[in-house]
Amino acid sequence: MTVVMNFLKRSPFNKYRFLSVISSSRCASTLVLGEHENGHMKQSSLSAIEAASRAIGVGEEENSISVLLAGSGESLQKAVSHAAMSHPSISQVLVADSDKLAHPLAEPWAALVHLIQQSGGYSHIIAASSSFGKNVLPRAASLLDVSPITDVIDISGPKLFVRPIYAGNALCTVRYTGVNPCMLTIRSTSFPVSLNSADSRSEAAPISQVDLSTFSEDSVGKSRYVNHTSQDTERADLGSARVVITGGRALKSAENFQLIEKLAAKLGGAVGATRAAVDAGFVPNELQVGQTGKIVAPELYMAFGVSGAIQHLAGMRDSKVIVAVNKDADAPIFQVADYGLVADIFEAIPELLEKLPSKK
């Protein structure tokens, strides 16, 4: 594959913008790979639907959006009902009900996408840049012999996309000129679902069952589902929380990290951590924020003892308001912070816990 990159301009925020020509046809129909849990579509999948609807808005042709949900049992049926009412842009919900798809493994899901594309002929296939999307989409793209575009943060046209490169320090504009389908993953934080769109349908979208009579057994068995673990907590989800409180290695121990957890609980927010804090064993890796962790864009992001390594900034730079507390006045985090306090975090956090009112 030949990639041509032309330098365009330098942005005011030390970001460079490039035009990258990969390979195009006009937009006609979109398949969104939906994730569900406990009978509900995940917020990241709703963002993928929002991205697909924006692609319609910039296209010249009317587009249809199909949402694919797979699995088995009562949880799937509840998720299907929720999806059918979740967004006004959805044209239909496709349901693949099979025990082979009970767990979101890459092999059977990729084979399913290949099967549906052969019959549906979609021009676009979109998934969120979650663990699920990053696992399934590249394998499905390989089966379909196309090149996927990952981590899209903006859609400028049916085949024109913007994605970050160099840990978010540059933006690359990519024009896809290959054969259908154009496959992409999107950063859910860049496509928030408006309150007017979420659960705003007056009538449910049509629901269709996928014919799995030709679904290949060869796609099942290459990997094996072992178990699923998650934190048993009522705290907000890190990926979609409005407030995120993050701690760094400066907290020194897992016991001290409880200060971050107490502050997050008081503000009704989620707990985040730097890679250094995760590697030190203070918190599990599911709380890592950054280029190799989760990408977040909350309304309020508070960083305590976070130096501001470029890999961490790549995961939170889109936050609406950034507050940083660090005793090092030269810490890079202050360069992106809206509010900064040079102070000892072991003095600042207890004072905040004492003076901040609890979230009602």
Q: Is 308 part of any known ligand binding site? A: yes
pLDDT tens figures, 132-156: 999 999 999 999 999 999 999 999 9
The chain-wide mean pLDDT, for the chain, equals: 85
DSSP state, 289? Answer: B
Q: Is 275 part of any known ligand binding site? A: yes
pLDDT tens figures, 222-268: 778 887 766 555 677 888 889 999 999 999 999 999 999 999 999 99
Q: Is 289 part of any known ligand binding site? A: yes
Confidence of residue 59 (pLDDT cuts 50, 70, 90): very low
Q: Is 307 part of any known ligand binding site? A: yes
The segment with the largest mean pLDDT, out of 51-60, 141-150, 160-169, is: 141-150
Q: Is 243 part of any known ligand binding site? A: no
HSE of 344, CA atoms in CB hemisphere, 13 A? 4
The domain 3-219 is placed in CATH, from the list 3.40.50.720, 3.30.56.10, 3.60.110.10, 3.40.50.620, at 3.40.50.620
Q: Is 345 part of any known ligand binding site? A: yes
Q: Is 102 part of any known ligand binding site? A: no
Token pair 């929720």 in the structure block, residue: 82
Neighbour count for residue 12 (Cβ, 10 Å): 5
Report pLDDT for 200.
Answer: 62
Q: Is 314 part of any known ligand binding site? A: no
DSSP state, 317? Answer: T
Q: Is 20 part of any known ligand binding site? A: no
Higher-pLDDT residue of 15 and 140 is 140
Q: Of 207-221, 222-236, 252-266, 318-332, which gets the smallest average pLDDT?
A: 222-236
Q: Is 246 part of any known ligand binding site? A: no
CATH topology for the 243-355 domain: Rossmann fold (3.40.50)
Same fold, 3-219 and 243-355: yes
Q: Of 53-67, 90-104, 232-246, which gets the smallest average pLDDT?
A: 53-67
- Decide if 132 contacts 38 (C-beta within 8 A): no
Q: Is 237 part of any known ligand binding site? A: no
φ/ψ (deg, to 5) at 259: -60, -40
Q: Is 44 part of any known ligand binding site? A: no
Q: Is 163 part of any known ligand binding site? A: no
Q: Is 288 part of any known ligand binding site? A: yes
Please count the helices (runs of H) and the strands (runs of E) in the chain: 8, 19
Domain ranges of the chain: 3-219, 243-355
Confidence of residue 21 (pLDDT cuts 50, 70, 90): very low
What's the whole-model pTM score? 0.79
Q: Is 120 part of any known ligand binding site? A: no
